Structures are given as structure tokens and as C-alpha cells.
Homo-oligomer: A and B are copies of this chain.
């Protein structure tokens, strides 16, 4: 994780601003001979794309991804595959409305990175948020689509589990429901409630936060790189690095602070497949920074959209006090669209650690081990 690149062996570098000619990314280190075409990536981008319901910004971008490099026809396989060289992806920015930025270009919107970019670099691209635009996250989703293909058997799914103070009923969790409502919500009843609730938020020119949960099934045991490249450490960085995220937790998370040792430590029995089964998953699939083979479970908190109609007090870049009210296209709950982004980040981190483990250890030692022979 550094600058605009993340990952150590599966490496993603993104570029682009909201209102430049294009956004893009370079995925470097991807294994060769993985079938890949735009059709493998586009569906994930479509899930993230705004403008699909009244609950997300009405900016209309087709977000059509193009692969510029790193793939080739494998004649023997009869299909296009990765070559092991950098895969460059690009999405043209097409919905750049000619807009008057005079109100926004000198003012710092509360909750936005306007001030921090300005004070860091001495200038900023104020059009549509520039580099801090949520648009950049499209490339994370695209990279994540590739990452999903790197780890055999990996399935990464996300869901919105809280909006404002309203939590879903976890006993009603139905993954199939996630794609049936506008909120990626696994609880059908709560989804109906959210529709009404969010309409209210939107109508009063406000916004609201949310909590997203991402679950990765099929993560092999043994991924993670102690002490400073722990799987949970890298997940935390990846998820905290998503726009508007203010908290990350693994497994029992902050709830673990309230548990006793005997409540928290997941007991172990032998499963039918000859591998350990944990009787609970407070660990969220990670112990000592290394995957246990159980599902990896991460949650992250997304703050409410900072661009709201309600006027806020602020200052401008010349040090004058002023007010700002943000009109235009904005999601009343950016947490919704964070679902596919969170999935993508988790997939990228797991793919990276999968390759790292293969690099350091190679073939996994057979488990269970044979007892030492008697002398």
C-alpha cells in the first residue's frame, strides 16, 4: 500500500480524476493463462454504477471498460487469456457536464478532502472532486474482478447491514436477496424499510451513513504474512482506504472488546473433510494475521455523504469564512455503492496473499501432520 499502488505481488495502480478524459488502472503481477475479457469485468462495474435507482447519484456513465494490454489469444485453449504482463484497463469519462464550478472551486466543503488536498499539494482539481471522486473506485471494482479469478474457489460477497441506526435482522439474512433490492441488503423486510427511510433523508437534503459486511468464502488456510503484512492488517488498510470509510472490523470486531476469553476464542473440532472446523467465527477467519480456512468476515463503516443541500459553515482557500450548500447529483447514502467496492478490495487483498503464500511456501505442507515415529 503506497501512493496509488496497492498489493505486493498482485499489484494495482490506479489513475484518473472525475472530470479528466479517462480513469484507469494497471494490474501487474497477475498470473498468466487466466481467461479474461471485458465480459468478466463489466458486470461488476455495472453493479457499482450510479444512476440505477433513485437512491444513487443520477450521473449517467456507461462505465464501459476496455482492456488495453496484458491479454492474448491462447490458441490451444481457444480463448483470450492473461499473459502475465501488466493488464491496463481504461474507462472513458463521458458524462462531464459543462458545469459552473465557481461556487465550489475556492470553498472547502465540510467532510470533503477539499482543504486537505489543497493544503497538501497547493492546488486541486475541483471538478467533481478530482482525484478524491468516488469515480476512482470503479477501477478498484475492475481490478477486483480480475482478483476473483486468481484464487481458485474464492467467492467474495458483500451486503449492507446497517443504515443510520437501523441494523438488519441477521436471522433473515438471504444472500439471494442482495441483488433484488437497491441497497445490496440481505434482509428483504429491512430493504423495504430502507427505501422509505432513505427517501426521507434525500427529501430533506440530508444524507446518512451505513455499515457494509463482506464475506469471503473459499479462502485457503495459511494466507497472511506476519507481522506487518497480516491478512487482517492489509484488509484494514484496503477497506479504510475506500472513500468515506471511518472504521473496519474483522469477525467479532469491536464486539470482541465486550467478550470474555471463553466467549471469544473459537473452539475447534475435526470436520468431516479431515480439516479443523471452528465452532464459531469470532476470529472472522483470521488468527495471528493468517487465514484459518473459515470464511473471512470484514465490516466497515461508511460516513454519510458530505455533499448535502443543507448549508454548512466553512472557509475558502483565501481564508475567508463563508457557507456552502452542495447541489447536484449525489448519493444520499454512499454506503450503498460501497458494497461492490468493498468486495473488490477484499478480493484484491486475498489474491495478493494467495500469490505471496505460494511464493514463500510453495506447496502447502500436508495437514494433519504425521506423528513423529517412536525411536
Contact = CB atoms under 8 A, between A and B. Distances in A.
A68 to B, nearest CB: 5
A238 B233 CA distance: 7
A249 interface: yes
Contact of A123 (B32, B221, B247): B32
Interface stretch (A46-54, A55-63, A188-196, A359-367): A359-367
Contacts of A144: none
Interface string A269-301: 110001010010011101111111100000001
Q: How many copies of this chain does the complex contain?
A: 4
Chain A interface size band reads: 35 or more
A358 interface: yes
A249 B254 CA distance: 9
A370 interface: yes
Interface string A80-112: 010111111000000000000000000011111
A351 to B, nearest CB: 11
A257 B162 contact: yes
A70 B20 CA distance: 9
Contact of A276 (B224, B227, B262, B315): B315
A335 interface: yes
State the 7 A-B residue pairs at the shortest beta-carbon distance, nearest first.
A113-B288, A359-B359, A111-B265, A122-B365, A247-B249, A319-B368, A116-B290
